[in-house]
Amino acid sequence: MNVGERLWPLLLLLAVVLGCGDGKSFDVTGKVTMKSDGKPLEGATIVFRPVENPDSFSARGYVAEDGTYHLTTKNPNDGIPAGKYQIAVMAKLPRVDRDKVKGPPPSPIDPKYSKYESSGLEFTVSPQGPHVYDIQVDPNPGTK
């Protein structure tokens, strides 16, 4: 067995341990508003999931009163690595009178946004930036 054949398993193990890329994360922020009136979607949760490896991790942000969010992966506002992401948005549900409404209250936004596959939202985070991704969502067509 030559030296190259003996080193190959070690190099493969090293690549797995260190991972690919430089591990740099980027501060991703933006604003979530309603398409209909431009109002911020306060209290919503926004989740970015990598397209390439959807089970590896996800990053989330909570929409503030002014509509802004900052993504968090492990630590507050630590951002996300460069890559292509699918996005899901879950609105804060309105309070309802439980004596009058059975089941969960309807979401104020189109339910399609709650699933990565149907939201139609994708962004590519590049090292060059900028890392500002604004999102506009449609109102729930069933609540008109």
CA distance 10 to 6: 8
Q: Where are the beta strands (DSSP E) in the chain?
A: 25-26, 29-34, 45-50, 59-62, 68-70, 80-81, 83-90, 122-125, 135-137
pLDDT recorded at residue 22? 57
**pLDDT tens digits for 113-123?**
999 999 999 99
Q: Is the pTM of this model over 0.85?
A: no
80 to 2, 70, 77, 138: CA distances (angstroms): 41, 10, 9, 26
pLDDT band of 25, cuts 50, 70, 90: very high
Rounded mean pLDDT of 116-133?
94
Beta-carbon-side half-sphere exposure of residue 92 (alpha carbons within 13 Å):
14
Output the average pLDDT for the chain. Answer: 83
DSSP state of 109: B
**Looking at the domain covering 22-143, what would its CATH class be?**
mainly beta
* Closest by Cα among 120, 118, 90 to 104: 90
